[in-house]
Structure 1
Amino acid sequence: MYATERQDRISTAIARVGRVSVMELSREFGVASETIRRDLDLLEEQGRLRRVHGGAVSAQSTTIAETSLADRSDQAREQKSAIARAALRQVPDTFRGSLLIDAGSTTAQFAELLAARQPAAPDARIDVSTNSLAIAATLNASAHLALRILGGKIRGITGAAVGPSTIAQLTDLRPDIAFIGANGVSDGFGLSTPDEAEAAVKAAMVHAARRVVVLADSSKLEVETLVRFARLDEVDTLITDAPPPALLASALAAHGVEVVLA
């Protein structure tokens, strides 16, 4: 295989899955890792990818890149819908207790399903807290949910309440299950998001909950954004739409994280 053909295939793989590793590419193409690194260096010079430790990611992928909630809602819609359905199964229709729902596009789909579902018994009310304006509006229409909205400064790009007052409210809560979104989930860095204020609220949610369920589509796996808000050993369950890459799968297993494939 010519070098240009190999490099085109590497670019195609980046576009498809968002990240490639030197070791995996070396095995796939039957060439030395040094050859793959030279390919990645050239492709980075051409602006076709960005080098990271052990491999490369999309050129558009940066630690501070963040799209609006509306834009994210249109991305990987089918995968997020499947994840939301799997998340709903974590809350049996006989459940009586408290939930905490983080702001995000996948958690918003979960909230829609939760609001639409009828409980097994008329008195099976669920207490739900959220820092998301959009999710609060969805949940408010449901008669069987007791809604608590966490106040604070609203980030326009995500519609999430953040800041010291939001965190202070979370320190006084002990929900049974927290459903958390993440921009990145990696074996070395843990769970991360681009914004420091939002990361602080997510961290407070993780610390408050008795059980932490992370909702992250496969494009977020082995991605590291700017601010870590939780280690893998602080998570109980990861719901995603594809098997995690080998290194991440091993790390999740080592920390006892249950992986649910939607």
Structure 2
Amino acid sequence: MYARERQRQIVRLARDVGRVDVAPLSAELGVTPETIRRDLTTLEEHGLLRRVHGGAIPVELWGLEDQLAAREVVMTQEKARIAEAALAELPEQGAILIESGSTPARFAELLPRDRELTVITPALPVAQLLAARPNLTVLTLGGRVRSTTLGEVDGWAVQRLREVYADVAFLGTNGLSATRGLTTPDHAEAELKALMLRAARHRVLLVDHSKIGVVRLHRYGDLGDVDVVITDTGLAPELAEELESHGPRVVRA
């Protein structure tokens, strides 16, 4: 098992059970305790885990937020399938919103070059990626840029978002719960995300299974506020049915 694959497994285990310890990980993954400690240090540096005595816990339990670069190397295959499935929700023409986040960014990479679209986004990486495409008109919202997401938030972004209404919004989230709804650790992101739910006719949520069942600090919407949830096959079919009972159609890609 390569180091990156092993580290992804460690993150999955930590998020599943709330904590990982060096000795059990060493036995389960077939490497030395020193290797596990180096893995935990790397994952902490990437903003995915927080070291504690004898092991590590997910940053979610500390109310912290992953850096965008760290999220881009986690659940990569799942995010690729989610992004591919999301193309089915893309209009032939018109305006779309693409939110900040690693999964919406992966979707942006796949936008076809034969459709005339206006793309509205608070995400600077998405705007930079798409700006040179001749078939796309790219609009950013303005505002303060958050270092964790490289997304624009606060006054200017909020005001601009209140003035637009797109055909489809492609959204991400930090947490999704059947009972607690949509949540995020940052209050400024929560304000913008709530407005995005109201700024499009059709709302598509792109979320890998590791974020389902997770509850973060700030709640900004209900499951019924989105029309489609696109996730991966790591979500059990019975959990997908539970989510659908609250309103949205669920796609397991």
Category of TM-score, reference length = shorter chain: 0.7 to 0.9
Instruction: Describe the shift of the 1:47–1:65 C-alpha distance in structure 2 as closer, same or farther (beyond 3 A).
Output: farther
Change (3 A) 1:81 1:131: same
- Which of the residues 14, 18, 22 maps onto 2:15? 18
Alignment correspondent of 1:118 = 113
Distance 1:87 1:63, change over 3 A: farther
Pair 59,256 (structure 1): closer, same or farther in 2 beyond 3 Å: closer
Q: Is the 8 A contact 1:17 1:219 kept in 2?
A: no
Partner of 2:184: 193
Matched, 1:72 2:63: no
Distance 1:71 1:158, change over 3 A: same
* Pair 85,250 (structure 1): closer, same or farther in 2 beyond 3 Å: closer
Counterpart among 191, 205, 212 of residue 203 in structure 2: 212
Matches within 5 A, 1:81-120: 81-91=80-90, 95-114=92-111, 117-119=112-114
Which residue matches 2:39? Answer: none
Q: 1:40-83: per-residue Cα shift (whole Å, max 9, x none)?
A: xxxxxx8779xxxxxxxx55432622111111111111111111
1:187 and 1:248 in contact (8 A); partners too: no
Q: Which runs of 5+ in 1 are unaligned?
A: 1-11, 22-45, 50-57
CA distance in 2, matches of 1:14, 1:72: 11
| Structure 1 residue 246: Cα displacement | 7.0
Runs of 4+ in 1 over 6 A off after TM superposition: 46-49
| 2:229 corresponds to 1:242 | no
Aligned CA distance change for structure 1 residues 243 and 253 (closer, same or farther; 3 Å): farther
Please state whether the residue corresponding to 1:61 is helix, strand or coil: helix
Q: What is the SS of the residue equivalent to 1:88?
A: helix
- Please give the alpha-carbon distance, in whole angstroms, between the structure 1 residues aligned to 2:108 and 2:201: 19
| Residue 222 of structure 2 corresponds to residue 231 of structure 1 | yes
- Structure 2 length-normalised TM: 0.76
- The letter of the residue matching 2:245 is A
- Confirm or deny: 8 A CA contact 2:15 2:58 kept in the other structure: no
Q: 1:71 to 1:62 in 2, by over 3 A?
A: same
Superposition CA RMSD, Å:
2.5
**Contact 1:195-1:227 within 8 A present in 2 as well:** yes
Q: Please tell me whether the aligned partners of residues 63 and 226 of structure 1 are also in contact (alpha carbons under 8 angstroms).
A: no
Give the 3 Å change call, closer, same or farther, for CA 47–185 of structure 1 in structure 2. farther
What CA distance in whole angstroms lies between the structure 2 residues aligned with 1:164 and 1:248? 37
What does residue range 157-176 of structure 1 map to in structure 2 within 5 Å?
Answer: 157-176=148-167
The letter of the residue matching 1:186 is: S
* Structure 1 stretch displaced more, 81-90 or 196-205: 81-90
Q: Which 5+ residue runs of structure 2 have no aligned equivalent?
A: 1-8, 19-52
CA contact (8 A) 1:222 1:248 kept: no
Q: Indicate the residue corresponding to 1:150 in structure 2.
A: 141
- Cα separation, partners in 2 of 1:190 and 1:137, compared to 1, 3 Å: same
TM-score, normalisation: structure 1: 0.74
Return the alpha-carbon distance in structure 2 between the equivalents of residues 195 and 63 of structure 1: 13
How far residue 15 of structure 1 moved from its aligned partner, in angstroms, is 4.6
**Partner Cα distance (2:220, 2:239) in 1:** 17
